[in-house]
Structure 1
Amino acid sequence: MAEQQQYRLKIDVFSVDSLPMARLAEYMAELAVLLGECERVHFSHMEKGSAVLVSTIEPVAFPKVEERVSRVSRGDGPKDAMQAFKKIDNLLAKDGAVATLTGPTVGQVIEFPGRTRPKPVKYGPFREVGTLDGRIIRIGGRDETIPVWLKDGDVEYHCNVRGEEVARRLAPYYLNGVIRVHGSGKWVREESGAWNLEQFDINDFEVLDDSPMADVVGKLRAVEGGTWHESDDALSDILGLRRDDKGRH
């Protein structure tokens, strides 16, 4: 009968006595995902000394587990395995630890950088000219800079208007229609890589037509001398024009 093979996850800052049970459970859960073949991979024990989680692999599952671990070590493993690798590494970074996963095959090692990985960097702020679309959900203030809040779906933008002239023209559109504001935004690139708009200064705006598409099609069909009324599917015709226009660029 073939012997069961083992994988060892060694975490440098913990011992058997110092690793909290709740944290151990988190490491074990992600390690199970990384190894795969969950029905045939079993937690065996923890070795004395540094915290070493020992997992045993049933012989029938070992070739698949070995291939999966090899792919993770190369960085091209299955999506769930790579996500588990990242989650283990995030746990290690929070614990100020590093770890290695070794298997029975010579040279098969996965290094988890944990605390030694480069710290994410925050960039900015940067100024960039642009536009924002949305509905005004709040406007007003007593200072020279007048705050305006725009909402586009679930996203809210905090904007400012300098001077009363543009603010007065904006006021009638409070909770009334969709506008496009022009100006410059202050952007920050967060540690996660996402861009965050901290502030947007409005210098002008335009009112957008937020009529339902059916109303727009109806208006087109009503244009004297036009041919839209002859089409059975004017909406598809409009979308076709948009595709053709994009194809010319």
Structure 2
Amino acid sequence: HCTAKRMSTFVREIDFTVDWQMLEAGKALFRQGDPSDSIFIVLTGRLRSVLNTVGGKKELVGEFGRGELVGIVEVLTQNERATTVLAIRDTELTKIPSELLNLIKLRYPQVVTRLIHLLGTRILGNIQQKNTMSLSSVVPFRSDSYKKMERSTVDNLATIAIVPVTGDVPLTNFSLELQHALLGIGPTVRLTPDIVKARLGTAALEGVNEFRLFSWLSQQEDIHRMVLYQCDYQLTKWTKHCLRQADCILIVGLADKEPTMGPIEKE
């Protein structure tokens, strides 16, 4: 009650118009050609933008991670959705209707200036990435330009699921080494079934506690720059949670063995 009193009238108005939305992995946020009536902010999760071409092929346009704006270009230009946006993993979003954006533009023009700056930065980054990709065919693999392109495609990753190909992969050792290396870019946590159960109780992975588990895992993303999910060898409940929470999946095998598909890949 005291917090609500300290809020301005405008903030309270926004609170009533902004909506929170959960999108399951594989579901579409919107589809190409849909009317553009809102923008979205990714709170947790990851989205992928896909363009359906005339020939029926699908072209990857980009991906959106935590904190990024989705669909704002079409709203500002009042055009239909240019691409189809799908959830790569379970994603939580804030939905801002276009009417609210118009109200903000009228009352606080500086917000629009900031949005234009963000859009310009993103568009420029996409152009630079495409230019770098076109050069990658004529420059050495380890060139600085290739490394720059490589970094630009993963700079907003927050969660990694580490999957063993075989049961004899020393996954714990590998995960600990990776965690140590990633500490250089920010706080990094490694999660296993035992660690989760120690924090949330032995029944943490049961279906009745799914919402509590999801909330806790989302909290780990807020606290840490990177979250490493150490999967089981088989497709257990824990592994399913890991795959649903992962921005990307890292498959680990033994270098002295022939490449093969593990049971999780086959399923």
TM-score where L is the length of structure 1: 0.21
Which structure: greater helix fraction? 2
TM-score where L is the length of structure 2: 0.20
Which structure: greater strand fraction? 1
